[in-house]
Amino acid sequence: MELPVLLIAIIGLALVFDYINGFHDAANSIATIVSTKVLTPFQAVLWAAFWNFAAFFIAAYITQSFNIGNTIAKTVSEDFINLEVIVSGLFAAIAWNLLTWWLGIPSSSSHTLIGGFLGAALMHALHENYVELRDLNNNFDFKASSFELIKLSFEKLFTQDVVKYDKVIPIFLFIFLAPFIGMFVSVIITLIIVNICKNSNPHKAETAFKRLQLVSSALFSLGHGLNDAQKIMGIIGAAVIYHYVSIGDPDYINAPDRFKYFTEHFMWVPLAAHIAIGLGTMSGGWKIVKTMGTKITKVTSLEGVSAESAGAVTLFITDHLGVPVSTTHTITGSIIGVGLTKRISAVRWGITVSLLWAWVLTIPISAIVAGITYIIVNMF
């Protein structure tokens, strides 16, 4: 069965977002390994790209689950999803990602995507409410003003189950929990390593930790691939499911788990998503590498192993729980953690506060841009 042009455009736009996500978040995987000079920037992006792509085979053939993608697809009620909502959310996510990449700010691609999706869905519900009330208003002699119709539309919006809070609330909680988990785990790992190796030959220890950094960065890249590539799968899945349900396809309508049915019959989607994020990672994001690798705190090979290992542990846990988290937040918290093991002043808190503002603003700004985009899309 042929897919409509808008759905094909959404799939293409989603893979573009995944590519941008790759070079935007490349710094998460390679910043510490580049700053410690274990690998050159070119070698590091190839290393990270390989392990991001390898994550597909782990999800498809070992864990046999795409928990993160399933969560993303279900953050909004199916009654308030259409192709215009999805394309508006993607546009907002791409715009914010490119802006923060250009400014060298390590913001969350995950929360950009979620914010765009939620904002477009809420605007869709609000627009439908307004149209319905306007049509009813035309049947009465006493006409309500446009302002009154907008007010009533908002009141109705608050009574509708547009957002699935059982999915969204954990995502919001982990905006703050993920960096703290990464920070806590990195402090523990650093202290354990320091105590074990306190009597070691410094030169031999440095050589060993540089080799171990290859392992820890590979693990973090795997976690990044498992986490971030699946998010765009969720968006594509929501679009494909909407299309087939809207045309009355009985297989999708009667499927007990529509997202699982989608992944079984569109296995090329997760493969394409992992290829796109891998290619994006190869493009690199050097402005963000500088921020993550040197501006937060100076990182040694030992501390690089600790930060990357802590980030990987956090991502593996959240992937298992099916909670989409920010790899940016996670590795930032981990890097701060290793800085705190030296002294509080080792962390450049001015840079950290700037990052925190970008994190807080990401979801609302993406939601607003997506809402405005939805209005523009519906004009044509």
Q: What is the residue extent of each domain of the chain?
A: 5-377
Beta-carbon contacts of 333 under 8 Å, excluding residues fewer than 6 positions away, are 178, 179, 180, 181, 182, 183, 186
pLDDT for the residue 120: 92
Cβ burial, residue 155 (10 Å; 0-12/13-18/19+): exposed
Q: Say if residues 234 and 11 touch (Cβ distance below 8 Å).
A: no
What pLDDT, on a 0 to 100 scale, did the predictor assign at position 296? 44
| Residue ranges, the chain, pLDDT below 70 | 1-2, 24-29, 31, 64, 104-106, 140-142, 283-299, 343-356, 358-359, 380
Q: What is the DSSP letter of 295?
A: I
Distance CA 301, CA 312 (A): 16
pLDDT number for residue 293: 45
This prediction has a pTM of 0.78
Rounded CA separation 346/200 (Å): 24
308's enclosing H/E stretch is helix 301-321
Distance, in Å, from the CA atom of 183 to the CA atom of 330, rounded to the nearest integer, reads 8
pLDDT of residue 370: 92
* List of residues 6+ apart from 328 with CB closer than 8 A: 25, 28, 106, 107, 108, 109, 359
Mean per-residue pLDDT of the chain: 79
3-state secondary structure of 163: strand
Give me the phi and psi of 163, to 5 degrees please: -95, 135
Helix (H, G, I), strand (E, B) or coil at 76: strand
Instruction: Indicate the length of the chain as a whole number.
Output: 380
- Kindly state the DSSP code that residue 134 receives in the 8-state scheme: H
